[in-house]
Amino acid sequence: MPLEAFAHAVPSVKHTAADIARLTGADPAFVENKVGLKTRYVLGPGETGVSLSQQACENLFAANPGLKEKISVLVCVTQTPDHPLPQNSAALASALGLPHSTASFDLSLGCSGYVYGVLVMQGFLKSIGAGDGLLVTCDPYSRKIEPHDKNTNAVFGDAATATWITAGRSRATILATDFGTDGERGDAIMVPAGGAALPLIDEDGNRIERTKDELRLHMKGRPVFNFVNSEIPLSIRRCLDRAGLAISDIDWFALHQGSIYMLDAMAKRVGVPPAKVLKNMDRFGNTVSSTIPLLLEEAEEKGMLKGSTFLLSGFGVGLSWSTAVVRFE
């Protein structure tokens, strides 16, 4: 897994746990202690997923002079694009001034999207003989959430990340992976309307009135928790078995930041020492596909990557999961 560098960007509007409690009617103690959220960011006026993604990429380029000219592939992981079409990656490539020879496409994945994205990028670079790619994550759920719904608005935050991935020799090696999908429980995290099942325009081109509930993000907390608590420990164990490793061989666990309560319960179920579980939920909230790269960027800044073995696991919308064991030189 050729992960060379990371960067991120957050939007302009910052909320505290007290702000979120006022918006949703949730108990501030619930927001801080169960969800684990003390601050989070959401898109402000004039900001979009593409503009936030552009900022993350520019931050990556600024820290790595000459990188922009090397990029030949751009992949955006998002389920909340600026427009139904064209894809965010096309708009972002233009905003960044990348040449028309740049291959770009979106991956429609949520919380499991980062590990999927890394593997897709790695395979694509190898298949076309290209050297360097840019993997971007950005899912501004704030534009899909009912402001007064504590099941969603007390959990999610907006952020974008950019990861430089190279097809050449890298400091990171994938030792094992595990992927899976449980579509039978897909309605546990869902935006019902806007697609072919519940369209916004009829066959004659007339607008179809949809209710606010049909257009907003819905999350069933208990089914999601049950999914995470049952499937993800199994995925982690399968991945470790394939790598020939034990829990004690993993230095750090970079797990999707669904909520602090969920993280702690899952770590306990798997037998992971709490001190090995990386967390940033308190500062960003659940940023969907951006949670894992945010953790990796912070780990790099603290000098934790070099010589360490990480277990990455993302899980959520689909319902789906993606787990990988990665060793950094």
Output the pLDDT for position 170: 74
Output the pLDDT for position 3: 87
CB under 8 A, 24+ apart: contacts of 269-275: 269/229, 269/233, 270/233, 270/236, 270/237, 271/247, 272/247
Q: Give the CA dihedral 189, 194, 197, 200, nearest 10 degrees.
A: 150
Same topology between domain 3-169 and domain 174-328:
yes
Q: Are strands 132-138 and 160-166 parallel, antiparallel or unpaired?
A: antiparallel
Element (H, E) at 214: helix 212-215
d(CA 28, CA 322) in angstroms, rounded, equals 32
Output the pLDDT for position 139: 96
Output the pLDDT for position 133: 97
- The residues with which 321 forms a beta bridge, in sequence order, are 180, 315
Amino acid at 207: R
Closest CA to 6 of 291, 282, 259: 291
Count other Cβ atoms within 10 Å, centred on residue 246. 11
In tens digits, the chain (329 residues) has pLDDT values of 478 999 999 999 999 999 999 999 999 999 999 899 999 999 999 999 999 999 999 999 999 999 999 999 999 999 999 999 999 999 999 999 999 999 999 999 999 999 999 999 999 999 998 889 999 999 999 999 999 998 899 999 999 999 999 987 778 899 999 999 999 999 999 998 888 888 899 898 899 999 888 889 999 989 999 999 999 999 999 999 999 999 999 999 999 999 999 999 999 999 999 999 999 999 999 999 999 999 999 999 999 999 999 999 999 999 999 999 999 98
Amino acid at 109: L
Superfamily of domain 3-169: Thiolase/Chalcone synthase (3.40.47.10)
Output the pLDDT for position 256: 97
Q: Are strands 218-219 and 103-107 parallel, antiparallel or unpaired?
A: unpaired
The string of DSSP letters for 276-322 reads: GB---HHHH-B-GGGHHHHHHHHHHHTT-STT-EEEEEEEETTTEEE
Output the pLDDT for position 157: 97
Biggest alpha carbon distance in the chain?
61
pTM for the full model?
Answer: 0.94
Phi, psi of 327 (to 5 degrees): -110, 125
What's the CATH code, domain 174-328? 3.40.47.10
Output the pLDDT for position 221: 87
Question: Do the Cβ atoms of 89 and 74 come closer than 8 Å?
Answer: yes
d(CA 37, CA 259) in angstroms, rounded, equals 8
* Domains of the chain by residue range: 3-169, 174-328
d(CA 5, CA 161) in angstroms, rounded, equals 11
d(CA 44, CA 282) in angstroms, rounded, equals 20
